[in-house]
Amino acid sequence: MSEAVRSLLRANGESARETVAESDAGFLWDFWYPALRSTEVTGNHLRTAMLLEVPLVLGRTAEGKAFAMRDSCPHRGIPLSYGRFDGKNLECSYHGWKFEACSGQCVEIPSLTSQDKLKVERIFAGHYPCEERDGYFWVYMNSGARIAVTRGGESRGEEKDNAEAQRTQRLAESLRSSGAERVEEGGASPSPTGRVGLELPAAPKLSTFSEKYRITHLACELPSHVDQGIIGLMDPAHGPFVHQSWYWRSRHSIHEKEKKFEPIPNGFRMSPHTPSSNSAPYRMLQKYTGEPVTTTIDFVLPNIRTEEIRSGKLWFSSRATVTPVRRDLCRIDFVAAWNLLLPVWIFRIFAQKFLRQDQETMILQAEGLKHNPRLMLIDDADRPAKWYFGLKAGLLESRRTGAAMAHPLVGPVTLRWRS
């Protein structure tokens, strides 16, 4: 985290976060989110990450399978990341309960005697589906794990008196708020998607168009809610002001643009088009291949913007995701691959500068957003932002009612703006 982001968060205060902890943070559950880079996890080392305000402990088993558990022991809540991992099971540092890392299932409670009847295998630590792809650990943040079955308090024998039932109830409440997962007597484990009867979708994968290519990853934290991060990502009008530079564009290069958009499932597409003629890299590419350059840009919920640029046999493909860490912090993960004669280090210099410009702007914006100003979305430059909020509302409503999702775009639309 950059010092600027850190100091801003300090200024905002931790307590403010706590008081709103129970309110809806506006996150989209039941989607894959990138938690960390694959290269950060080596051997039996455990790593931590936070997604949607859920603390996670992640690692890789001896067989190479990625796993993500809630970083909280279901016994007393100590972070499991302080424990030991042997390549298969994670042992809690407090009382030594052991959990199978991929399923979260408890396999051992050292304090139990031969007289104890507690069914160890019925206790689960919170865990989430986890896949490695494109150099990231992706975690499926299922709402099922968040509201897991919690008729808690299996204690010795069946002879619970009232007082104990109440104690159990209180314990269950605290377990629920700590997100511990228990499977009730005779009950079933929550479905992997958290939403009954639905199959888990595949984790996102970057499109590539040849055997050999270069690939690079960048990340940058923004001190803002994910919604601000996302509408910043799809905002066409800030380019000439925030990303001014001789090789990209200047404020004098502003001209009127017209772009066609079409609806796609859970998102929208800027229809394949010849990219902006005021950008030097595109002009160079066209000169090099002698073939037209086309660009397709998609946005899909919850947070994914992909861009594919093709010219003859040459291609460039990128994906940016804006991932909610907390309600006041999100992170852009950017991955790009290409088969152009473009060295990774040169690309990184430009891409890093680009991301830094966005980050610096959003740090300044966060200063203003602290005071809850009224904001505006104008046509046509902010129409994609309106669609994002429309998609989000449509998705939540369709999940609530089970009806088909209402899409904010009913057909192709042409937007015009100057940038």
Least distance in angstroms from the C-beta of 302 to Fe ion? 20
Helix, strand, coil share of the chain (percent; to 5): 30, 30, 45
d(CA 34, CA 51): 8
Select from 73-81, 273-281, 329-337, 405-413 the region that touches ligand FES (CB under 6 A).
73-81
Q: Which is nearer to ligand FES, 2 or 103 (CB)?
A: 103
Q: At what angle do helices 383-401 and 226-233 cross, to 10 degrees?
A: 130
- Please tell me the distance from the alpha carbon of residue 193 to that of residue 145, in angstroms, as a whole number: 9
Give the residue with the Cβ less far from ligand FES, 76 or 117. Answer: 76
Q: Which is nearer to ligand FES, 32 or 97 (CB)?
A: 97
Q: CB neighbours (10 Å) of residue 219? A: 16
Q: Which is nearer to Fe ion, 98 or 249 (CB)?
A: 249
**Which lies closer to Fe ion via its Cβ, residue 125 or residue 322?**
322
* Angle of CA points 192, 331, 245, to nearest 5°: 145
Rounded to 10 deg, the angle between the 226-233 and 344-369 helix axes is 130
DSSP secondary structure letter of residue 233: H
**Cα 223 from chain centroid?**
15
3-state secondary structure of 402: coil
Nearer to ligand FES, 167 or 238 (CB): 167
Q: Which does 395 bind (CB under 5 to 8 A by kind): Fe ion, ligand FES, none?
A: none
Which of 36, 37, 61 has the alpha carbon at shortest distance from 51?
Answer: 36
Residue 8 has φ and ψ, to the nearest 5°, of -65, -40
Point out which span in 70-78, 291-299, 316-324, 402-410 binds ligand FES (CB under 6 A). 70-78
Q: How far is the CB of 390 from Fe ion (least distance, A)?
A: 22
358 is in the binding site of which of Fe ion, ligand FES, none (Cβ under 5 to 8 A by kind)? Fe ion
Interface pattern 345-384 for Fe ion (x via CB under 5 A): -------------x--------------------------
Q: Which residue is nearest to Fe ion (CB)?
A: 358
Task: Tell me the C-alpha distance between 105 and 234, whole Å.
Answer: 41
Write down the least CB distance from residue 329 to Fe ion, Å. Answer: 18
To ligand FES, the closest distance from the beta carbon of 22 in angstroms equals 24
Choosing from 6, 45, 76, 170, the residue that interacts with ligand FES (CB under 6 A) is: 76
The DSSP output letter for 163 is: H
- Residue 78 in the binding site for ligand FES (CB under 6 A): yes
Alpha-carbon distance values, 41 to 67, 147, 326 (Å): 11, 28, 22
Q: Considering CB distances under 5 to 8 angstroms, the limit depending on partner class, which of ligand FES, Fe ion, none binds residue 392?
A: none
75's contact among ligand FES, Fe ion, none, with CB below 5 to 8 A by partner kind, is ligand FES
Chain position carrying tokens 């104990």: 164
Question: Which residue in 75, 84, 392, 399 binds ligand FES (CB under 6 A)?
Answer: 75
Nearer to ligand FES, 65 or 75 (CB): 75
CA 213 to chain centre: 26
- CB neighbours of residue 367 within 10 Å: 13
Which of ligand FES, Fe ion, none lies near 205, with the C-beta cut-off 5 to 8 A by kind? none
Between residues 110 and 368, which has the closer beta carbon with respect to ligand FES?
A: 110
259 contact choice in ligand FES, Fe ion, none (CB below 5 to 8 Å, kind-dependent): none
Considering the complex, state which of residue 54 and residue 304 has its C-beta at the smaller distance from Fe ion: 304
Contact (CB, 8 A) for 1 and 221 = yes
Extract the tokens encoding 293: 């350059």
The footprint of ligand FES on residues 83-102 (CB under 6 A) is: 92, 94-95, 97
* Alpha-carbon gap, residue 211 to 4, rounded angstroms: 41
The entry of ligand FES, Fe ion, none that residue 260 binds, CB within 5 to 8 Å by partner kind = none
Binding-site ranges for Fe ion (CB under 5 A) = 358
State the residues that interact with ligand FES by CB under 6 A: 73, 75-76, 78, 92, 94-95, 97
